[in-house]
Amino acid sequence: MKMKLLLLAVTFLGLTLQAQKVGMSPEYIKSITPDWTGERLADGRPKVSDALLERLKDLSVEEAWGYLRNKGYRNQFENDWVIIDPSKAMTGRVLTAQYMPSRPDIEKYIKEEGKKEGRGQKGGTNSWPIDILQSGDVYVADSYGKVVDGTLIGDNLGNSIYAKSQRGVVFYGGVRDHEGLEEIEGFNGWIKGADPSYIMDMMLTSINAPIRIGRATVLPGDVVLAKKYGVVFIPSHLVADLVINGEVTALRDEFGHQRLKEKKYLAGQIDSQWTDEIKKDFMDWLKNYPGKLPMTQKELDDYFKERNW
């Protein structure tokens, strides 16, 4: 028992010391995302596949929100955004950054620690998260809602972000050069506002640590679903199941709408627990689906094996 307590104390001390660094280690990131069992990026973040990220775009915010609430994740959504291009959805793997109001002693420590970690010493620390972005990443930052004198990027850094990630940003704070950011083809952003001012009196405190975005808790390696009506942060280990649940729900809705238009069933029959007859009709309909199903046949078969409708 004493040995177990000692090991727990050593582990806690190690995580505490790690948390004092700017960038979290792969070991730390793995320790806070233990339910992910798939491939990881070199920095330790879960690597949800590009194919799943693409399929996720077709799901609604409500579908993702509802699924997560049913799984006990009730703090994964934030709305009321200013969006660079509201017509386009964005999905990607989260890289987090935390900003706070400046304080000279801790800011000095952060810069010294960043130098030890090999981070760029020219320009501001707000470029450090951008330097390590990878393809498929979304840069997610908590800058405590500061817009005036709190602009994390302008169009120069926006171009760098898109060149590295082919995505964009989710900032609980502001940007500058809004017009210039709109001109970056493919770039998108969910922000709390734009202002001509430069970043002042704020400091980066961590990269790839857990952060808060409004009323959502966000971990490095989470997956973003950002759409016109809000942003959902999905734990990596739930993405695959969430996607196929949403896809099957959409197919059920399509089938139900079609059968109602054909007057084959009454609204109450489609809107309640399906009979065996309707279930068989739906499975036959799937086999003869006129378009391309969003999932593989194996994924579909596995889905129905594990569920009792």
SS3 251: helix
Strands of 135-184, DSSP E = 137-142, 169-172, 174-175
pLDDT in the model for residue 20: 53
pLDDT of residue 6: 46
Name the DSSP class of 262.
Answer: T
Of 196, 191, 166, nearest in space to 180 by CA:
196
The residues spanned by each domain of the chain are: 50-234, 240-305
Burial of 269 (0-12, 13-18, 19+ CB in 10 A): middle
Sign of the CA dihedral with 47 first, then 52, 53, and 54 last: positive
All residue ranges of the chain with pLDDT < 50 are 2, 4-19
Residue 202: its H or E element:
strand 202-207
Domain 50-234 in CATH 2.60.120.560? The answer is no
Q: Are 98 and 206 in contact (CB under 8 A)?
A: yes
- pLDDT at residue 123, as a whole number: 82
Mean predicted lDDT score pLDDT of the chain: 93
Q: What is the pLDDT of residues 23-74, one digit of tens each?
A: 999 999 999 999 999 999 999 999 999 999 999 999 999 999 999 999 999 9
**Range 67-88 burial, b when 16+ CB lie within 10 A, else e:** bbeeeebeebbbeebbbbbeee
The pLDDT assigned to 19 comes to: 45
pLDDT at position 158 is 98
Rounded Cα gap, residues 143 and 124, in angstroms? 15
Q: Which tokens in the block code for residue 103?
A: 């304080």
